[in-house]
Amino acid sequence: MSSERLAALLDEYAELEKRLADPAIHADQGTARRVGRRYAELVPLHKAAGELEQARADLAAAKELAAEDPSFAAEVDSIAAVLPALEERLAELLIPRDPHDAKDVIIEIKAGEGGEESALFAGDLLRMYTRYAERRGWLTEVIDAQDSDLGGVKDVSLAIKTKGVPEGGNGVWSRLKWEGGVHRVQRVPVTESQGRIHTSAAGVLVLPEAEDVDVTIDPNDLRIDVFRSSGPGGQSVNTTDSAVRITHLPTGVVVSCQNEKSQLQNREQAMRILRARLLAVAQEQADAAASDARKAQVRTVDRSERIRTYNFPQNRITDHRIGYTAYNLDLALAGDLDGVLDALGEADRAARLAGGTELTRR
């Protein structure tokens, strides 16, 4: 393990601890939250380093005692036996982690091939992530949504947040970052009169929610258009130009929002999504410069580009990236995603330990 890296991180931990003890930092909640998140990320490392240092000190003391009294030999062996596990734990914590792990996320779900059935499946995915968030004690907020005629969703943006500072720096992104990609469903649609199984797909894009300090946006780089919101009909359709479309001219990224009743609220929500997308763009560019570019999460919402399949007749969920299969689809759609997410996390951990690179996300 790198003693220089360990020393630097422990020094950073001590400095952050001092900053958090200063009441002045809490005058700026944004700064306090960022410092608190980073401190939480380093707590496990500080604890592991302390336990290893203590174990080594105990071993040295036991060896001295054993040299004078052979009855302490068993204690030497006992302490020595736990050292490899402590060293492995610390080595794992020293591997550079995803810098966004402590962040909240914005999940965008888009119906793809399959028409109305795809929109219904997109609605199922929305409920699945919402229920999973509830199980974790996270907060959810639908930023924008376009409903379909039969109760599904054509396009939805869902914000998921932790309450306070995430323990160990493991925020929403650390759990859901692998969900980006094309999700495929195989089932008999409600629109199918012959009982035939159809295959359709929905695309999921997971973005770490950006804070103001993460992305600088020049107002001169934005083109903002307003229009009337659309919907399936009735009172849900506005009669004023409250919907907002924002185009970031340098990158061509376009974001629209029409969920809120006022133009100002829609603009604020659209800017949240824009910041998250621009942060993702900046991260991809940085990765590419380091020759470690991540593949795009969703290239096309095409059935062949799937990362996961939800097979209703077999009650089966399969993640094709790691070969994970379980026959508890009903539970997964009800929010019990820990099985597949734990498997993805373990695959990522193994990849990092083996070669220092993370599990590829689509």
- What mean pLDDT is predicted for residues 237-247? 77
Tell me the pLDDT band of 301, cut-offs 50, 70 and 90.
very low
pTM for the model stands at 0.76
Which pLDDT belongs to residue 187?
A: 94
Question: Which ranges constitute the DSSP H helices of the chain?
Answer: 3-21, 29-68, 73-94, 116-136, 172-176, 263-289, 329-333, 338-355
Q: Say which residue, 276 or 72, is predicted with more confidence.
A: 276
Beta bridge mates, 207: 106
User: What pLDDT digit, counting tens, does each position of 145-154 carry?
Assistant: 988 888 899 9
User: Could you say which architecture CATH assigns to the domain 105-212+300-354?
Assistant: 2-Layer Sandwich (3.30)
151 contacts 117 by C-beta, under 8 angstroms: no
Instruction: Enumerate helices (H) and strands (E) in the chain, giving the number of each.
Output: 8, 11
Q: Say which residue, 299 or 32, is predicted with more confidence.
A: 32
* Domain range annotation of the chain: 1-94, 105-212+300-354, 219-289
Q: Which two tokens stand for residue 165?
A: 């500072």
> Which range in 189-203, 265-279, 292-306 is most confidently predicted, on average pLDDT?
265-279
Choose which CATH entry (1.20.58, 3.30.43, 1.10.260, 1.10.3470) describes domain 1-94. Answer: 1.20.58
d(CA 353, CA 182): 28
Q: What is the chain's mean pLDDT, rounded?
A: 86
d(CA 129, CA 132): 5
User: What pLDDT digit, counting tens, does each position of 164-181 carry?
Assistant: 878 888 899 999 999 999
Tell me the pLDDT band of 300, cut-offs 50, 70 and 90.
very low
Sign for the CA dihedral angle at 248, 206, 185, 120 comes to negative
Phi/psi of residue 321, nearest 5 degrees = -75, -35
Residue 236 pLDDT exceeds 50: no
Say if residue 181 is exposed, middle or buried (CB neighbours under 10 Å; 0-12, 13-18, 19+). Answer: buried
Choose which CATH entry (3.40.630.30, 3.30.160.20, 3.40.50.720, 3.40.50.10540) describes domain 219-289. Answer: 3.30.160.20
